[in-house]
Structure 1
C-alpha cells in the first residue's frame, strides 16, 4: 500500500491514549510527561478511587440495615445521601496536564437500575464526579454505557441522567462508552462492589419470557435513544469499544455516521501474528482508516495492554514510538476473519501477558502503540474528491442561484479546477463534430462552419474546450459566448484578445433574451450546437430546464443538438446525525426555515439506509490482503440503493414550447392558468416521483441525499456522460469534483425498524416566477399481511427559498 507521505499528502494524525481499568498510580504531571516520552498523547484517570467506592458501599449497607430495623411503612425511609467528596476520595486535581487527561466516571454505579435506592445512589455518585471533573478543568469525560440487560426503561433512566449532567458540567465533553456489537462493555469493572448486584429482588424487572442476549444492534439502539432524549447535544458523543471480531459492514456503517470521539482497543482485540507481534485484523484496519478520514477524527485508546513501562525502572531505556516497523513485525495475522474467536487463544493470552524484564533491551516496550503508529504512517491515499474537498466535509451551503446572482470569480475558479468535467465536455463536443459530416447534417452558417453557442459561459472554460474540440476533430466552427454577468463579460473579452485569437463572438445578455447570431442582412440566424454547464447538485435545481427552454428558439430545429442532451435526478435516504444536529441549532437560532432548504453539502459522516446486499465473508476470504483493502470503499463499504426521481431532455418538442407560449400570453386559448400560480407557462417542467426503498437494518432517517447523472452527447462512438451518483460515478466520471450532493432534511427524524419500507414523495413545483421542491417521507411495515404506516414526516417546502426564474 502506498502511504500518503509518498504522495505528498499530510498524514492524518492519530492521537493515542493509554487506559488502565485498574490504574495503580495517580496520573500526575510527571506520569503524563513520561507517557508522552513513550509516544502516548494522553492518559486516562478515574475521577474517584477505591476509598470513595468503599464509602458508598458502607453507606448502602448502613441504609439497608436501618430500613430492616425500622418499623416504617414501605418507601417512608429517606433515601441515602452521599456526603461531599474528600481529598482521600479522588486522585484527580487541577494540573497543568489536565488537558492531556481523559477522566472516567465510576463503572460500578448503575444509572439504569430499577431499584430507586441504587438509582439514587448512582445518580449522586455520577453528579459528584461530573461536578468535580468540571471543577478540575477536565475537558473529556468517559461515561460507561447503559446496562443493556435493564431494557428500554433502564436506557431511559440513563439518558435522563446524562441530560442532567450536560447542564451540570457546562464545558465537559461526555463520551458514552459502548460496544460496537452489543457485547458487554470491557471497561466495566468486576462484579464485586458493583451496585447493580445490590438491587432488591422486588424491583427486578419481571418478564414472561426468557431473557435474551443483546443483539449486535442493541447498543446502537440504546445510543439512538440516549442522543434523542438529549436532543443531539453537541457535547454528547461516543467512545466506541472495538471487540476482537467486528460486526457486519452495515452495522459498522451505522456507527460511522455517529459522533464517535474515541475508539477503544482492549488487549483482546489484538491478534498475534507468526512473528509473535501484536496486530489488528484487516477489517479493523479498514474501519480505523475510514474513521480517520473524518473531518473530526476520533482519538484512539489502548486498554489494559499492561502498565506504562519504565515507571519504576530508571535503568530501562525508553524510546519514542515512531511506527517504523519491520515488515515481519507489521504483517497481518494469518488467521482469516471467519475463524476469529471472541477471545484470544491460550497462546495469544500468554503472549499478551508476557512482561518485558530485560534492562536496556532493544525490544519494543510499547508494541501495541508502535503498531498503531505504523498504521498512521501507512494509511491509504485520499481520492481526488477527498483532497479537493478538505475542510468542506459536512459543511452546509445554500445552492447557487446563477440566474439572480452574478457569481464571483473565485466561484468560477473552483469549478474550473475540475480535472474531469471539462475534458469530458471537450470529448462530447469533438464527437458531435466528428458525427456531423457522416450524418449529412447541414450547418447554420454560410461558410459551412458548425455554429456553437456556449450559453452561460462564465469565465470561458467551455469556450476554450469548444475551440480545442474543433481543432482535434478537424471541423471548422463559429463560436458564440453568451454571458449575462457583466463582470465575467470583461474577462471573456480579455480571453478573446489574448487566448482565442478573436475567434469568438461575445454577447452580454441573458441567454433567454438572445435572438441568435446576427447575419449580414441584419436578421438572426440559428445555432447548431448549444453547450451549457447549468446543472446543479440535483441536476435541475439551478434551473437548467428553464434556461435551455428559453434559449431553444435559437437552436436549429432540424439538426440542432444540446450538450448536455439529458439529465436525471436521483435520491436515496440517509442517516446523518451531524448534519441534523447542525440544522437543529440553526433552526432554533438564526434560521427557522433551515429544515425547508435543500442544502449543498459534501456528505461524509453519514450512512445509507437502503443498500445492496453485502459481499459474503466467503468471498472476502478469497481475496488477498491487498485486494481486500482495495475492495472496501473507505467512504461507503456498501453500495447504496439510489433511485431515479425524474429526467429532463433537450431540445424539448416544439409543441410543448408552443403551448407554453400560449399560456404565457394569458389568453383564453392558453388555458386557465397554473395550479400553483401564474399562467402555467412553466408547468411542463413540473415533476413528481414516488420512490420505494427497502430498509434492511434499523436506523434513523434524517433526510435524503440527491445526485444527478447527465448524458452530454450520445453518438456513433458511444455516450459521454457525467455522474455524481455514488453507484455510477466511478464508472462515468471518476475524480470529478465540480458538484457536491444535495441534502433534503427532515424536521423530525424517522425511526426505521428492520425490514421496513421507506417511501419518498418529491415534487418539483413552479409558479412561473420561481422553482421549488416539496418532499414527504413515510415509513411502512408489513405485519400479518397488512401494510401499516409507522411514521410520516412533515410536508417540507422550499418555496420561501425557491430559485428565482
Structure 2
C-alpha cells in the first residue's frame, strides 16, 4: 500500500470514518438459528443476528392457556360464580403461565450467546385493556427475560407499545419493564420503537388482544392524525418510571420511510440509542435495481454515527430468510463444488458454497465508505470526552499538575487569538502614542512597555507575548506571576532555556503581588501597561477570573492600562440530555451533591429544547464582566479598616459573616426561552464569549474574540478546544407541553470567601392569547456546598 494513501493509517492524510456494525433481524423467524445457519448469516456480511427467545410451541401453549381460561369462566358463570352484571369475582384466580420447557425454546447457553440479540415475543400485549391478557403478557416477558439472563444474554430486545395515546396502557408497559429490570439483573433491556407512528409501517405481528378480538383502539375509528412526538412521549414515560436505569440506557429506533422534521431527529439524537433499525420497506431501488436510501436517510445515519457510542445498524427482513438458509445448507452438503459453482464463486471473490454478500449489507458498506471523514474536532481523544462529566477546576485552591497544563497548551487556536490580541494592543499603543509605565521625569521617552502575565502556568502566554513584541518591534519588560510552586520551578528553567532570561519570574498569588519594580530603582514600584491572564472557565467567571483580576488590577497604569481579556459574557440554554441525567443519578450514592455541582462536559448527545424566535434566541446572555473595574469596594474598605478587617465584619444574606466587598461580582439574570414542541429539561448548558482586545483607534478594526457558543465558535475561534461547556443539572427532569415558555433564573452568589451558583427553571404554558399558567418548576438548586474557594 502506498505510504501516501488515504487508507494508510500511518500516513498524514489518513481519513478515518465511523464503522458500521450491521446485524440482521427476521420478524418471521420462530426458532433460533442453528450453528450452521448462524455461520451462513455471518458469511453473507452481517456481524450479529437476533434470535427469538421462545418458539411457536410456546406461543400455542399460551394461547390455549387463555382459551381454556375463558371456557372455565363460562363454567363459573353457569355455576353462579360471577356476580350481578357478569362482573367476575375479583378473588377468582386468573391464568398462570407455567415455566418454560425444552420444547418452548431453541436458545441455550453457548459460546456465542453474547453476540445474539435475544428478542422477546412480539405477540405479547403489555398495554392490553384486558387485565388477564396484560397479566399473561407480563408473565411471558418475565419468563423469557429470566431464561435469557440465565443463558448469558447481554441484550434483550422488547417490542415497544403499539399505541401512544393510552396513558393507562403506557403506564402498564412501563411498570412491566421496570419489573423485568429486576428479573434479568445482568442484561440490558432494549425497547424497540418507531421514530414516529408512520402509516404503513405498523407492527404486523398478531397480539394476544387481536387474536381474541379485544379492541385496542386501532380500528377504523382510531385517531388518524400522526403525532410526531407521541412515541417519544411513550419512551419518556417508560424510562421515567424505570428511574433512568443505566440498564435501560438503550433504545432501538425504527427509521421511517419519510424522515421527520429536524426537531424530532434532534430529540432522538439526545436519547441513548443502541440500534438504528431499517426495514426493507425503507430502501428504494436505484436505477440498477439495487437497494438504496435517500439523501435524507443517509444524512440522518451519518449524524447518528458520530456519537461516541455509535448505534449498531439492524436491518429487518432483508434476508437471508429461513428458506434461503436451508437451500444454502443443501448446496453445501456436497463435499466438492461443481465447476459452475466454483467459477461463480471466483467471480464474486468468495469461497465456494459461501453465500454472496447480502445486497443490503453491501449497500450499507458502501455508505460506510461514503461518510464524511472525521474532522479535527473528532479526534479519538476529543471523542472520548463526549458527554463525560468532569468536576470544575479550583485553580485558586488547588495546584495543577504538569499534565493538566499540557492539555491546555495543546490548543493553538486559543494562544493564536491571545497573541493576536497582544499584538493589536502593542500596535495601537504606538499609534495612539500612549505613555509607558517606565517613563520617568529623567527619561520621559522610555518606550518599554511593562507586560505582566498573571497565572503564567508553564508559560505559553509568556512565549506569545515575547513573540508579539518581536513581531511589532516593541521593547518590553515582562513579568510572569505564578502561585504554583512546582510550576514556578518550570518557569525558572524555561526562562533560562527558551527566553534568554528576559522574563522576571515571581512566585506569588497575583492578588498579593506588590507590583513591578523599576529598573535601577529597587525601592520603587511601577505600574503594568498590559495585563494578560487566562483565568476564564467554561462559564467565563466560574474559575474566579473577576475576583483574581480585582486583586491585581490596581497595578494597571491609569488611564491607559489594558487588560487582556477586556470582557467576557456568560450564556445559557435549557437542554435535554438523558445520558447525563442517568450518569449523575448513578453517582448520587457516593456524591450527595452531584445534582448541585456545575459539571464541565463536552456536550454532544443533547437536544436544545428552545427554538430561536424574535426577541428570544436559543442561547441567551446571563451577565457580563468588564476589566479593569474603576472602583473597588475592597480597596476602599481596606483603606479605612485595614486589610484584615474585611474578613471579620458580619453581613446579611449571602454576605453573612463577610464585609460584602465582593458583592460587585454577584450577578442575577432572568431569561425566557420559547419551546414550540413538548419535551423535558434535564438542566442548563452554559457557555462563554470573551473580547480579548477591543480596538481603541477605530479604523474599521474588529475586536479579537474567543467563543464557545455553538452558533458563534466557528466565526470567532474555529476549532478551539480549550473549554468545554458547563452543565447545571436539575434534580428532577422537568416535563413541559408544547407552546411552553421556560423561565430561567440564575444567581452568582458570594460571601467574600467563595463563589457559587443558584438556579431555578419554571415552565409556563399559554392557554389563551394573553394568559399563561405555570405547569411545572424545578427546585432551587445551589452549588454552595461545592463552591469555588477564593
Q: Do the structures match in fold with TM over 0.5?
A: yes
User: Could you tell me which residue of structure 1 aligns to residue 277 of structure 2?
Assistant: 264
Instruction: Point out where structure 2 has 5 or more consecutive residues left out of the alignment.
Output: 1-5, 333-340, 349-355, 440-445
* Correspondence list, 1:167-316, <5 A: 167-183=182-198, 188-191=203-206, 194-198=208-212, 200=214, 211-236=223-248, 237-307=250-320, 312-313=327-328
Give the 3 Å change call, closer, same or farther, for CA 663–101 of structure 1 in structure 2. Answer: farther
Secondary structure of the residue that 1:691 maps to in structure 2?
A: strand
1:651 maps to 2:628: yes
Matched, 1:602 2:594: no
Deviations 1:347-395 (A, max 9, x none): xxxxxxxxx9x96495764111012122223322233333241211111
2:173 to 158, 161, 181: 158
Q: Residue 622 of structure 1 aligns with which residue?
A: none
Rounded to whole Å, the distance in 2 between the matches of 1:3 and 1:603 is 30
2:776 aligns with: 791
The secondary structure found in structure 2 opposite 1:523 is: strand
Deviations 1:300-344 (A, max 9, x none): 111011225665236979xxxxxxxxxxxxxxxxxxxxxxxxxxx
Structure 1 distance, partners of 2:414, 2:165, is 55
- 8 Å CA contact 1:643, 1:691 repeated in 2: yes
Note if 1:771 corresponds to 2:786: no
Indicate the residue corresponding to 1:708 in structure 2.
688
- Whole-Å Cα distance in 2 between the matches of residues 428 and 165 of structure 1? 59
Q: State the SS of the aligned residue for 1:704.
A: strand
Q: Identify the residue that residue 488 of structure 1 maps to in structure 2.
A: 487
- Asked whether the 8 Å contact 1:29–1:96 carries over to 2, the reply is no
After superposition, the C-alpha distances for 1:41-92 in whole angstroms (9 at most, x for unaligned) are 1011111111211121122222212212333213234211222222222121
**Correspondence for 1:696 among 676, 682, 702:** 676
Indicate the residue corresponding to 1:63 in structure 2: 69
1:3 positional shift: 8.8
**C-alpha separation between the residues in 1 aligned to 2:224 and 2:133?**
24
Distance 1:660 1:310, change over 3 A: farther
CA pair 641-37 structure 1, distance change in 2 beyond 3 A: same
The TM-score with structure 2 as length reference comes to 0.89
SS class of match (1:739) = coil
Q: Answer yes or no: is the 8 Å Cα contact 1:660–1:680 preserved in 2.
A: no
Shift of 1:38: 2.4
In structure 1, distance between residues paired with 2:652 and 2:175: 51
- CA distance in structure 1 between the aligned counterparts of 2:8 and 2:267, rounded to whole angstroms: 27
Which residue of structure 2 lines up, in the alignment, with residue 546 of structure 1? 547
Partner of 1:751: 735
Structure 1: unaligned runs, 5 residues or longer: 318-355, 615-638
Judge conservation of contact 1:21–1:187 (CA < 8 Å) in 2: no
Instruction: Please give the secondary structure, in 2, of the residue aligned with 1:718.
Output: coil
Q: Equivalent residue for 1:443?
A: 436
Change in CA separation of 1:395 and 1:653 when aligned onto 2, cut-off 3 Å:
same
Instruction: Report SS of the residue matched to 1:758.
Output: strand
CA shift, 1:181, in A, is: 1.4
1:206 and 1:92, CA in 2 relative to 1: closer, same or farther beyond 3 A? Answer: closer
2:362 matched to which residue of 1? 370
Using structure 1 for the length normalisation, give the TM-score: 0.87
1:465-512 per-position Cα deviation (integer Å, ceiling 9, x unaligned): 000001111211111101111101111111111111111111110111
**Residues 771, 804 of structure 1: 8 Å contact kept:** yes
Deviation at 1:39, TM superposition (A): 2.2
Distance in 1 (alpha carbons) for counterparts of 2:476 and 2:200: 70
Deviation at 1:147, TM superposition (A): 2.2
Secondary structure, counterpart of 2:366 in structure 1: helix
Match for residue 38 of structure 1 among 40, 44, 50: 44
- 1:437-457 Cα distance to aligned partner (Å, 9 max, x none): 211201111431111000000
- After TM superposition, give the deviation of residue 214 of structure 1 in Å: 4.5
Q: For 1:584 and 1:212, how far apart are their aligned partners in 2?
A: 39
Q: How does 1:323-334 map to 2 (within 5 A)?
A: none
Deviation at 1:179? 0.3
Q: Is the 8 A contact 1:263 1:301 kept in 2?
A: yes
Find the aligned partners of 1:268 and 1:458 in 2 and give their Cα distance.
Answer: 59
Please tell me whether the aligned partners of residues 262 and 301 of structure 1 are also in contact (alpha carbons under 8 angstroms): yes
Secondary structure (helix, strand or coil) at the match of 2:383 reads coil
Contact kept, 8 Å, 1:144 with 1:187, in 2: the verdict is no
**Deviation of residue 674 (structure 1)?**
5.5
Cα distance in 2 for partners of 1:362, 1:688 equals 72
Contact 1:140 1:175 in 2 (8 A): yes
Q: Note the 1:99-110 alignment, pairs <5 A.
A: 99-110=114-125
Q: 1:474 to 1:598 in 2, by over 3 A?
A: same
2:148 partner SS = helix
> In the alignment, is the contact (CA less than 8 A) between 1:664 and 1:680 conserved in 2?
no
CA 1:149–1:539: 2 relative to 1, 3 Å: closer
Q: Distance in 1 between matches of 2:639 and 2:234?
A: 60
Alpha-carbon deviation of 1:200?
A: 4.8
Describe the shift of the 1:40–1:443 C-alpha distance in structure 2 as closer, same or farther (beyond 3 A): same
| Paired residues of 2:171 and 2:237 also in contact (CA < 8 A) | yes
CA-based RMSD of the aligned residues comes to 2.6
In structure 2, distance between residues paired with 1:802 and 1:24: 59
- Count residues with an aligned counterpart: 735
Q: Structure 1's 662 and 776: CA in aligned 2 closer, same or farther, altered over 3 A?
A: farther
